[in-house]
Amino acid sequence: MGALAGRVALVTGGATGIGAAIAIALADAGADVAVTANVSGPDRVLDSIRSAGRRGTAISVDLGRMDAAGMDGLVQATEAALGPVSILVNNAGIIRRDAAVDYGEADWDDVLDLNLTSVWKLSQAAGRRMVAQGQGAIINTASLLSFQGGVRVPAYAAAKHGVAGLTRALANEWAASGVNVNAIAPGYIETANTEALLSDETRSRQILERIPAGRWGRPEDVAGTAVFLASPAAAYLHGQIIAVDGGWMAR
């Protein structure tokens, strides 16, 4: 509590799921928080942020279609509402499933544009400011498929491998400037992106059998790691991809 007092965070995809849980946890730790939303309304998240005694704002954007100037404008809008951004959580993402032989070009482009290219563009826009300020934290949402190939999700796997590489590349450049760049790799978490797996009785059972914790994760299980990575406790942590997976990768 209070570890992030006076900090301003920008959380993409912060209206639902993992992003919402992270946004609320950052506010509970003392940060003022801006969230981006595209489809779902952010009212519940904003109410929780304000109930924690912090300022919150929501910005409606389509990150997958934004150019570099648009990303810079998003950071400027956050600064105008709350102040200089010192925490960026690149969380927004989608998943499209199909056999590799049938995978559509539009699906590939949509997934890569949002899950990887937007992470690069927004990290660059915010990172310029953080480097100039001499401090900041960028937290990317990676995935177990940053380490594995998955099945029927070639674009998602490619994007999340890219997020892991980008995390390390930016850490190498910005660590000496006081900017921490790390990533969280959530395991199987109950969100809209995993609804298809949860509703498949056989696949859901197979997944559960491999998780040592004996349950699927909840968005709140990821939030504490984000608070840690944003806090002074992680000052010497750079370029790490931390699996929050109930033990999946250890199995």
Burial of 53 (0-12, 13-18, 19+ CB in 10 A): exposed
pLDDT in tens, 55-84: 999 999 999 999 999 999 999 999 999 999
pTM across the whole model: 0.97
pLDDT in tens, 115-127: 999 999 999 999 9
pLDDT at position 2 is: 77
pLDDT at position 196 is: 87
Share of the chain above pLDDT 70, in %: 99
Share of the chain above pLDDT 90, in %: 94
Mean pLDDT (whole number) for 1-7 = 89
pLDDT at position 39 is: 66
Confidence of residue 1 (pLDDT cuts 50, 70, 90): low
Confidence of residue 152 (pLDDT cuts 50, 70, 90): very high
Give the β-pairing of 56-60 and 32-37.
parallel
53: left (phi over 0), alpha (psi -120 to 50) or beta: left
> Would you say residue 36 has pLDDT above 70?
yes
pLDDT at position 193 is: 86
Query: Which CATH code of 3.30.450.20, 3.50.50.60, 1.10.1740.10, 3.40.50.720 fits the domain covering 8-250?
Result: 3.40.50.720
**So where are the chain's domains?**
8-250
> Would you say residue 92 has pLDDT above 70?
yes
Confidence of residue 224 (pLDDT cuts 50, 70, 90): very high
Q: Across the strands, what pairs with 185?
A: 243
Cα-flanking dihedrals φ and ψ of residue 216, to 5°?
A: -70, 155
Q: How far apart are CA 69 and CA 228, in angstroms?
A: 31
Question: Which of 52, 47, 59, 42 lies closest to 5, judged by CA?
Answer: 52
pLDDT at position 40 is: 66
Catalytic residues: 156
